[in-house]
Amino acid sequence: MMNMNLRGKTKKKEILSSSLKCNFICSRKVMSISLSLRLIPLTFPHSSSSAFNLKTPSPKYYLSFRSKTSLKPLNATAKFPPFIAPSKSLSLIKPHVQSHYKPIIAGWLCSVVSVFSLSKLIPKIACLSSNLTVDQLKSDGWVLGVFVLARLVATYWQQAFLWEAALSAVYDIRVNVFERVLQRELSFFEGGSGVSSGDIAYRITAEANDVADTIYALLNTIVPSLLQLSAMAAQMLAISPALSLISALVIPCMALVIAYLGERLRKISKKSHLSIATLSAYLNEVLPAILFVKANNAELCESTRFRRLAHSDRYERLKKRKMKALIPQIVQIIYFGALFILCAGSLLVSGGSFDGCGLVSFITSLIFLIEPIQGVGKAYNELKQGEPAIERLFDLTRFKSKVVEKSDAVKLDHVTGDVKFCNISFKYADNMPLILDKLNLHIRAGETVALIGPSGGGKSTLAKLLLRLYDPVSGSILVDNHDIQRIRLDSLRRHVGLVSQDITLFSGTVAENIGYRDLIGKIDMERVELAARTANADEFIRTLPQGYETHIGPRGSSLSGGQRQRLAIARALYQNSSILILDEATSALDSRSELLVRQAVECLMGNHTVLVIAHRLETVMMAERVFLLDNGKLQELNRSTLMGSNHDTLVSSGLVI
């Protein structure tokens, strides 16, 4: 049921609000959540954005849900320090560019050939045009041809080499940024101010391409444009120093205009980057949830949200495109104006001091002098346009981890699976309440312990602490009597496997998903099949069109819920970790699928230490000990007492009945 009422459109700072009531049907629970849909200000760091008087809201406003439950708003700008000083942008990309010095030098050498050919061409063309005879054409024609060809070939290779350097530098930057993103703590991606994956994806793809354009423009300016500028200036000085000085007055005039417009372009570009990143973040959140959208008849609501974000982007892009189109026109006006004055002036000033050939040569040199000045302007604009992209890209790499691997951390080759939580207290942030409060738990090697408790009680948090995705505020966790803070992170996570509640499968084949741990090595097909048989998955896999080589679609979307769960269990078995955390899915399965999954879980329990976050009574009964986690405290329950509990007690313990 949806009731949407959109009010207010155009006034500055007007808040457009509507209310939306949706019924969310989640597994066996029916939650009725009242959502209020409204536009709230979206802050652009360091931007002085004005409100836009448009029919649709300005980019200052951003559509969000407000609900009693914590539906996460899209967040394209959260968690980043303020933009760094523009001057730092160049120093950030410098090391990556310098490491590709070979194509840069090759490109610059080609530019030397290109400029040399041009400086030889100009006087020859000037003399030919002022004194054209068949004999002269015959004698000088082939020389001209050679220089023209040399310039064309050299210019081609100059651009090819410089693009190679720019794209290689951006490849390095991308790899570096992505590796740093992978190293970031989980808190960067989740929680109220977590950064959306769409925003990160946009930075690493589209914005990195903008950085490539900037690097190319800079490389193409530093030597080629300056070379051409010097060569042409030298020629002009040789012909007429007086006229050359007058021409030089044009340069600061152009530089001032270009600098002013470039600064404006930088501000506009920053907003444009943010608006497209927000749109990308939105799409990355909504499209994977398309089933939910359709099931809730939310197409209209999502289409409205999309339109607003797309409109903001259109507005910002158009502004940027207009500015980019305007700059060359203004430069051209100054250029042609100056040229006209110079042509007229040269006739007066020269007073016959140089001939027609010299005059044509001077004017042609001036034309080719203005070209690199325009090039410098263009490069400056590219830099101003690329700065926000460089800043946003490198923002991803700047962080200080709270979960730090100690220098003397040990690698454990084998663990028996003895786990102790000693006096663990934890909260997600200083200003948040304690989720776990002086909690103690000892799971013996090979034992299966079930953890139950109300939703939000902290069960998944406990699992995250065991994987060291967060560190406790106080207390310690021991694996085989080694404090996990003294175990190497890769070693710890190799020995602790996780089957999470939200089953994560990737596009690819069944075998690749089961053998995920060996994805870049060699997947052991025998182990894959053994794991699949143990997890009761082999039977259905063999009915798929290409068996283990069948592609399962994005996020395993071609499989049923039960099949996905069994595949995830098979993957955990393949990993061969001694300790397994099994966050049981709450979603309903038919009784046969449920039985198959339960049998698979039972197989897991046979020879692993298992911490199962249980939601079903049947799973609880498979465990040797059962603990209730409530209000940050742990309490051991008697299984037989639990069996005899009434419906309300079981539901309040977080069990799905």
Q: Which residues bind ligand ATP (CB under 6 A)?
A: 190-191, 428, 435, 453, 455-461, 654
Report DSSP state, residue 264: H
Q: In angstroms, give the least distance from the CB of 629 to ligand ATP.
A: 7
3-state secondary structure (DSSP) of residue 36: strand
Q: In angstroms, give the least distance from the CB of 429 to ligand ATP.
A: 7
Q: Is 98 exposed, middle or buried (0-12, 13-18, 19+ CB in 10 A)?
A: exposed
Q: In angstroms, give the least distance from the CB of 459 to ligand ATP.
A: 4
Cα pseudo-dihedral 531, 534, 539, 544, rounded to 10? -20
Q: In angstroms, give the least distance from the CB of 440 to ligand ATP.
A: 18
Provide the β-strand partners of residue 436. 426
Report DSSP state, residue 205: I
Is residue 93 within 8 Å of residue 126, measured between CB atoms? no
Q: In angstroms, give the least distance from the CB of 586 to ligand ATP.
A: 8
Task: Give the nearer residue to ligand ATP in terms of CB position, either 315 or 426.
Answer: 426
Residue 54 tokens read as 């448009």
Task: Give the nearer residue to ligand ATP in terms of CB position, either 3 or 455.
Answer: 455
Nearest in space to 120 (alpha carbons), one of 162, 150, 93: 150
Residue 488 CA: distances (Å) to CA of 407, 417, 491, 603? 9, 16, 5, 29
Cα pseudo-dihedral 334, 340, 341, 347, rounded to 10? 160
Q: In angstroms, give the least distance from the CB of 615 to ligand ATP.
A: 7
Q: In angstroms, give the least distance from the CB of 611 to ligand ATP.
A: 12
Q: In angstroms, give the least distance from the CB of 501 to ligand ATP.
A: 6
Q: In angstroms, give the least distance from the CB of 401 to ligand ATP.
A: 16
Q: 592: number of CA atoms within 13 Å, CB side?
A: 4
Task: Give the nearer residue to ligand ATP in terms of CB position, either 177 or 655.
Answer: 655
Q: In angstroms, give the least distance from the CB of 612 to ligand ATP.
A: 12
Task: Give the nearer residue to ligand ATP in terms of CB position, either 271 or 427.
Answer: 427
CA 361 to chain centre: 52
- Sign of the CA dihedral running 421, 423, 428, 429: negative
Residue 187 tokens read as 């808190």
Task: Give the nearer residue to ligand ATP in terms of CB position, either 51 or 651.
Answer: 651
Tokens 């029919």 locate to: 55
Q: Where are the beta strands (DSSP E) in 488-608?
A: 496-499, 579-583
Is residue 115 within 8 Å of residue 78, measured between CB atoms? no
Phi and psi torsions of 584, nearest 5°:
-65, 135
Q: β-pairing, 579-583 with 496-499? A: parallel
Q: β-pairing, 61-67 with 29-41? A: antiparallel
